[in-house]
Amino acid sequence: MAVQTPILNHARLAAGVEAEREGKPAGYVLVTGASRGIGRAIVLRFAAEGYAVAITYHSKRDQALEVAERARRLGAPETIVLQLDVSSPDSVEKAYHRLEAEWPYLNVLVNNAGVFHVGGIEETTLEDWEHVIRVNLTGVFLVTKTFLPMLKRAPWASIVNLASIAGQTGNVAASAVYAASKAGVIGLTRRLAVELAKYGIRVNAVAPSFVETDMVQMFLDTPEKRKKIEELHPLRMIIQPEDVAEAVYFLATPASRAITGHVLSINAGRFAA
Ligand SMILES: NC(=O)c1ccc[n+]([C@@H]2O[C@H](COP(=O)([O-])OP(=O)(O)OC[C@H]3O[C@@H](n4cnc5c(N)ncnc54)[C@H](OP(=O)(O)O)[C@@H]3O)[C@@H](O)[C@H]2O)c1
């Protein structure tokens, strides 16, 4: 049977849902690859609304612990820090058992972890290809499939995947394998939106252009390069992780309860130009 998502009552929101919660989390959220960049901003956005947050890292444990500390200060009633390699079935399984032991269910899964890749097809090795596909695409499959039982148990649930403008157009700096991995994420999002609708689980994606994080620092590390990136976008701006987090928050929570299978472009007007 489909899970019912609550219709937002804005008068109730204004009166203060906070007071009604009596210290209980607003919901339970897992963000993969949350030690830095966009994942970090997403965790902090949910923390500020009183959600319990699970923060996964791949190699940067200290940074993930700092994100957890900041999330608690912002209002997250619970934080869990987990090591996770999204490309490893064993690692994903281990993370699932840890979370299942601590939380009753999962309201929101954000498949954010990813790796970047540049270079032409002539320089791309089979090893590069397999690594990027394994983390960016197979990782979304593995994490979604493994955490599905916890999402199905929740009173409302949704998934947001991090795609990219590189999955929507070939006119970008990323390599073909990165573009293919993100186009794959878009296909996966649309198909899962249809497939999981029977459980009331919505599945959406965001597709950002350049966002100021470590991932694309090589395009933003001089004033000249920054100007070039700004000029690519009609809004003449460099998109920040918080801009993406805001869109993810909207797509993940019941405010967007009638939206599923959607890919929200966050590209400062690039498609309008
Ligand atoms: N920045 C952009 O311009 C941009 C644009 C469009 C889409 N995106 C997408 O947005 C997402 C976040 O990107 P970002 O810019 O925030 O990247 P980032 O700053 O490089 O952070 C990447 C995150 O993914 C984690 N990670 C890497 N490999 C992993 C693995 N095998 N298993 C689990 N976690 C892994 C990293 O963990 P550790 O730190 O612990 O190593 C880190 O937390 C990615 O999917 C990316 O493709 C980014």
C-alpha pair distances (Å), 154 with each of 11, 181, 262: 25, 29, 22
Query: What are the backbone angles phi and psi of residue 207, rounded to the nearest 5°?
Result: -130, 90
Contacts of 38 (CB under 8 A, 6+ apart): 112, 162, 208, 211, 213, 241, 244, 245
User: Is 193:204 a contact under the CB 8 Å cutoff?
Assistant: yes
- Cα–ligand 1 centroid distance for 4 (angstroms): 32
**Of 51, 178, 199, 249, which residue is the catalytic one?**
178
Burial of 88 (0-12, 13-18, 19+ CB in 10 A): middle
State mean pLDDT over 36-61.
Answer: 98
State mean pLDDT over 46-59.
Answer: 98
- Cα–ligand 1 centroid distance for 114 (angstroms): 4
Which pLDDT belongs to residue 17?
52
Tokens of 112: 């954010």
Pairing of strands 108-111, 28-31: parallel
Domain ranges, ordered by start, for the chain: 23-266
Q: Whose CA is nearest to atom 31 of ligand 1?
A: 85
User: Is 235:268 a contact under the CB 8 Å cutoff?
Assistant: yes
Q: Is 222 in the pocket of ligand 1 (CB under 6 A)?
A: no
Please write the tens of the pLDDT for every residue from 100-140: 999 999 999 999 999 999 999 999 999 999 999 999 999 99
State mean pLDDT over 178-187.
Answer: 98
Which pLDDT belongs to residue 23?
72
Comparing CA positions, the residue from 240, 244, 241, 232 lying closest to residue 171 is: 232
DSSP 162: E
Nearest atom of ligand 1 to the alpha carbon of 239: 3
Annotated catalytic residue 178: yes
C-alpha pair distances (Å), 222 with each of 73, 157, 219, 240: 34, 42, 8, 17
Mean pLDDT of the chain: 94
Please write the tens of the pLDDT for every residue from 238-250: 999 999 999 999 9
Nearest atom of ligand 1 to the alpha carbon of 60: 40
Which pLDDT belongs to residue 12?
46
Fold of 23-266: Rossmann fold (3.40.50)
Q: Express as a percent the part of the chain with pLDDT over 70.
A: 92
Q: Quote the CA–CA distance of 77 and 69 in Å, as a whole number.
A: 11
Which pLDDT belongs to residue 91?
98
Pocket test for ligand 1, best of 36, 81, 82 (most atoms within 8 A of CB): 36
DSSP H helical ranges for 75-163: 89-102, 126-133, 139-152
Q: Quote the CA–CA distance of 110 and 144 in Å, as a whole number.
A: 9
Q: Answer whether residue 19 shows pLDDT above 50.
A: no
User: Is 33:39 a contact under the CB 8 Å cutoff?
Assistant: yes
Comparing CA positions, the residue from 161, 174, 246, 141 lying closest to residue 206 is: 161
State mean pLDDT over 173-191.
Answer: 98
User: Is 77:50 a contact under the CB 8 Å cutoff?
Assistant: yes
Check: pTM over 0.85? Answer yes or no: yes
- Cα–ligand 1 centroid distance for 135 (angstroms): 10
Which pLDDT belongs to residue 8?
54
Q: Quote the CA–CA distance of 268 and 4 in Å, as a whole number.
A: 34
Nearest atom of ligand 1 to the alpha carbon of 163: 7
120 by DSSP, 3-state: which?
Answer: coil
Pocket test for ligand 1, best of 112, 140, 266 (most atoms within 8 A of CB): 112
Which pLDDT belongs to residue 11?
46
Which amino acid would we find at residue 133? I
Of the pLDDT bands very low, low, confident and very high (cuts 50, 70, 90), residue 273 is confident
DSSP 158: E
State mean pLDDT over 246-260.
Answer: 98
- Cα–ligand 1 centroid distance for 154 (angstroms): 27
